[in-house]
């Protein structure tokens, strides 16, 4: 999950001097930011500091992050010609700075702390590429999907090859596990997920898994099609707080591991209430085939650091 960022004063200090893209492009700085939450929170895993949208640079789409606006894509994909014009991307060289960050973090990280590499899933990346930025209803994305199914599948299959090989390259550089982020896939109906997206996620997950590293398949709002989402692949399925863990396990299968699923806003609750909610997650996961305790989505910028530290300590104590 996103665990670095603006809630940490040491991150804000670096951001005062560097843009987000500068931090990503500079392996020494990106490695430092990756380590910040590990030092502060004593979490069991670090997630590499990068962004799912970085492949848009070698794809020639133009990427920037604007204050208060989030990501902005200068040349959004709106037609078949734009899909056909996408250049091939070699992640090993064109995103080589991310692999350098993986190597730098790996060298600095205590052996007991795992390193997670990541990439965006084909659907979530396509949604940014088509919308040109964040979206509430994903209207342009769905219009593209319904009206131009050929170019749609062409776009998603290109993205699947790119992110699948990018993930495998991160494992090759030293990441112990990989995470595929399909953050906005929950905007789709179950039938649309199966028809327009599932095969492309399956391909990306298959390429990533061929590296031998375990893969976490993350989504939010997926309760309505969780069995189909899980069927696309991944050793671990990420779920958010909108689905109770026992319901999630029934859909995913009791032989699979789940990551989740504390509501990030629970970190703003009174301490006793937060503790109760953490205990509920641990209780629901007790005795299961595998569980990675996590938030259901990223840490919000105003989150109190002390609440995060308390959660990590409680999870390490377990149900005792
Ligand atoms: O621990 C970490 O933070 C790891 C690094 C990381 C970032 N982005 C850096 C970042 C990770 C894992 C991501 C993934 C990412 N990026 C996702 C998938 C995960 C999720 O949260 O759903 C998505 C959808 C993005 C796209 C993205 N990047 C958005 C929508 C934004 C703006 C959001 C905001 O809060 O302004 C970003 C910017 C971004 N990427 C930040 C960070 C830490 C925000 C901090 C900053 O602007 O300095």
CA distance 71 to 191: 29
Position 68 scores a pLDDT of: 81
Cα(208) to centroid(ligand 1), Å: 21
* 213, pLDDT greater than 80: yes
* 3, pLDDT greater than 90: no
For ligand 1, residues with CB inside 6 Å are 2-6, 15, 20, 47, 49-53, 65, 70-71, 118, 134, 181, 183, 297-298
CA distance 118 to 249: 23
Q: What is the mean pLDDT of the chain?
A: 97
CA distance 2 to 46: 10
Position 67 scores a pLDDT of: 86
Q: Is the peptide bond before 314 cis (omega within 30 degrees of 0)?
A: no
C-beta separation of 80 from 150 below 8 A: yes
Most ligand 1 atoms within 8 A of CB, residue of 1, 3, 5, 132 to mutate: 5
Mean pLDDT of 191-206: 98
Position 303 scores a pLDDT of: 97
Position 295 scores a pLDDT of: 97
Position 26 scores a pLDDT of: 98
Catalytic residues: 2, 6, 15, 51, 128
pLDDT cut 70: percent of the chain above it: 100
pLDDT in tens, 165-181: 999 999 999 999 999 99
C-beta separation of 69 from 122 below 8 A: no
Task: Tokens for 5, please give them.
Answer: 């960022």
Mean pLDDT of 46-51: 98
Q: What predicted TM-score, i.e. pTM, was given to this entire model?
A: 0.97
Residues 6+ apart with CB under 8 A from 139: none
Compute how many other C-beta atoms are within 10 angstroms of the C-beta atom of residue 117.
30
Band (pLDDT 50/70/90 cuts) for residue 86 is very high
Phi-psi map region of 138: left, alpha, beta (phi>0 left; psi -120 to 50 alpha): left
* 2, pLDDT greater than 90: no
CA distance 46 to 33: 10
Q: Whose CA is nearest to atom 40 of ligand 1?
A: 51
Position 107 scores a pLDDT of: 97
C-beta separation of 171 from 211 below 8 A: yes
CA distance 62 to 64: 7
CA distance 76 to 182: 19
Band (pLDDT 50/70/90 cuts) for residue 182 is very high
Mean pLDDT of 99-103: 98
Mean pLDDT of 104-111: 97
pLDDT in tens, 49-78: 999 999 999 999 999 998 888 999 999 999
pLDDT cut 90: percent of the chain above it: 97
Q: Whose CA is nearest to atom 31 of ligand 1?
A: 70
Please report the atom of ligand 1 found closest to the CA of residue 124. 24
pLDDT in tens, 256-313: 999 999 999 999 999 999 999 999 999 999 999 999 999 999 999 999 999 999 999 9
* 1, pLDDT greater than 80: no
């Amino acid at each position: 999950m996103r665990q670095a960022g603006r809630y940490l004063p040491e991150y804000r200090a670096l951001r005062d001097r560097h843009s987000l893209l500068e931090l990503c492009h500079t392996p020494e700085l990106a490695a430092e930011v990756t380590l910040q939450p590990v030092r502060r929170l004593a979490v069991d895993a670090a997630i590499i500091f990068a962004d799912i949208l970085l492949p848009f640079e070698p794809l020639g789409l133009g990427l920037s992050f604007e204050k208060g606006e989030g990501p902005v894509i200068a040349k959004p994909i709106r037609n078949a010609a734009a899909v056909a014009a996408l250049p091939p991307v070699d992640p090993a060289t064109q995103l080589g700075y991310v692999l350098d960050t993986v190597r730098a973090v790996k060298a600095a990280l205590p052996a007991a702390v795992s390193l997670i590499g990541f990439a965006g899933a084909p659907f979530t990346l396509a949604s940014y590429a088509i919308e040109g930025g964040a979206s509430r209803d994903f209207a342009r994305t769905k219009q593209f999907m319904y009206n131009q199914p050929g170019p749609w599948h062409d776009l998603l299959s290109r993205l699947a090859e790119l992110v699948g090989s990018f993930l495998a390259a991160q494992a090759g550089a030293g990441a112990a596990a990989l995470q595929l982020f399909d953050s906005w896939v929950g905007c789709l109906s179950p039938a649309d997920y199966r028809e327009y997206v599932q095969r492309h996620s399956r391909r990306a997950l298959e390429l990533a898994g061929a590296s031998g590293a375990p893969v976490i398949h993350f989504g939010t709002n997926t309760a309505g099609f969780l069995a189909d989402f899980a069927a696309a692949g991944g050793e671990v399925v990420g779920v958010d707080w909108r689905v109770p863990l026992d319901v999630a396990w029934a859909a995913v299968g009791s032989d699979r591991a789940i990551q989740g699923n504390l509501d990030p806003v629970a970190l703003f609750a009174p301490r006793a209430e937060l503790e109760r909610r953490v205990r509920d997650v641990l209780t629901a996961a007790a005795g299961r085939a595998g569980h990675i305790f996590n938030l259901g989505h990223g840490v919000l910028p105003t989150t109190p650091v002390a609440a995060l530290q308390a959660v990590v300590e409680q999870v390490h104590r377990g149900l005792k």
